[in-house]
Amino acid sequence: MDERQEKLLKEIVESYIKFVKPVGSKALCKKFKLSSATIRNEMAALEKLGYLEKNHVSSGRVPSELGYQYYVDHLMKPKELNGEEMLKLQTIFHNQQLQVSDAINKCMEIIAEITNYTSVVLGKNSSDNTLQQVSIIPLENNQIIALVCTNKGIVENKKFTIPQDIYMVELVKTCEIINKMLIGTPINEVSQRLEFEVKPVISKTIKQYETVYEIFHDAFNDFTKNSPNVFFSGKTNILKQPEYNNIDEIKRIVNKFEDESLVRKIEETGDGVNVYIGEQSEFDPNVTVVKSKYKINGEEGTIAIVGPKRMEYDKVVGLLEYINQELKERDK
């Protein structure tokens, strides 16, 4: 592709992103000060190369997946944030009272509002966490809080009301046994080991061992239910885009957002901010997923934006690059 064709492709992509209308030769003639015949020939050449597609209801052209990809790889420059956007995000990152995960979630909420696309935060699954400690905090009125902590810094707590015939010393003793036997065990394996290895041990020393066992079993069960750490913001934003005006298409995409195994495919393993268009997304052939992995204070995960293939790539990439930079600053 020569320089003129690159400029034409850039203009066509950005015009279609903005106006959602196929681009004809007439509008390009004025901008590039070229004859209509020259423009048509260049557009035909770009179509032959696979970068443009002809819209069946118009003589104009629209970008193909290959055209979007070439634009992202060679023609696009990430857009800088404006002052208002930067201030909103900085206010969150500079709030030291917020945990990292909460700061990331709040920032992705703002990005969903700014872009009108869907934002996703994927924390690590429970299988990536191992048990670090179990502890009991006594409260008034026969109540306790059971705390489960992992090596990744994730903490789950659950409040229980214990029967009158259960003594605190028995719960503390059970905690000690669990910590001695199960530390380092992957969280999703703890419940099984609790039943087959720990339960027989506490049955010999704890009088009401069945009730005590259930308290700890429920605490671990809650942890594995809550641990996927999938956070969405603006889940319906993508459906506001004009591409998705068919009720069956809307239902199909909404169902995909509810499929955890499919959403998990959004997880990023590469470095930097990466763009996956259409089939490359492994999520849906009619969307683009822009995503980046993060690692800060021992917490790992993926931040992502899901939108139409006609996405404001420069804005989205600029926003995620800014988030990455702020996370690096916070991690120093």
How do the pLDDT tens digits run along the chain, 332 residues long? 899 999 999 999 999 999 999 999 988 998 999 999 999 999 999 999 999 998 766 678 999 999 999 999 999 999 999 999 999 999 998 887 887 778 898 999 999 999 999 999 987 655 567 899 999 998 888 889 888 888 866 777 788 888 888 888 999 999 999 999 999 998 878 989 999 999 999 999 888 899 899 888 888 877 666 555 788 899 888 778 888 888 888 888 888 888 877 888 898 888 999 999 999 999 999 999 999 998 876 678 899 999 999 999 999 999 999 999 988 887 76
Q: Which residues, at least 6 apart from 42, have a Cβ–Cβ distance to it below 8 Å?
A: 4, 5, 8
Q: Which CATH number fits domain 3-75: 2.70.70.10, 3.90.1150.10, 1.10.10.10, 3.20.20.70?
A: 1.10.10.10
Q: Residue ranges per domain, the chain?
A: 3-75, 83-124+230-330, 127-226
Nearest CA-CA partner of 200 in 215, 186, 210, 211: 210
pTM of the model: 0.72
Amino acid at 231: F
- CATH fold for domain 127-226: Enolase-like; domain 1 (3.30.390)
Exposure string (b/e) for 209-225, b if CB count within 10 Å is 16 or more?
beebbebbbebbeebbe
Q: Is the CATH code 3.40.50.720 the one for domain 83-124+230-330?
A: no
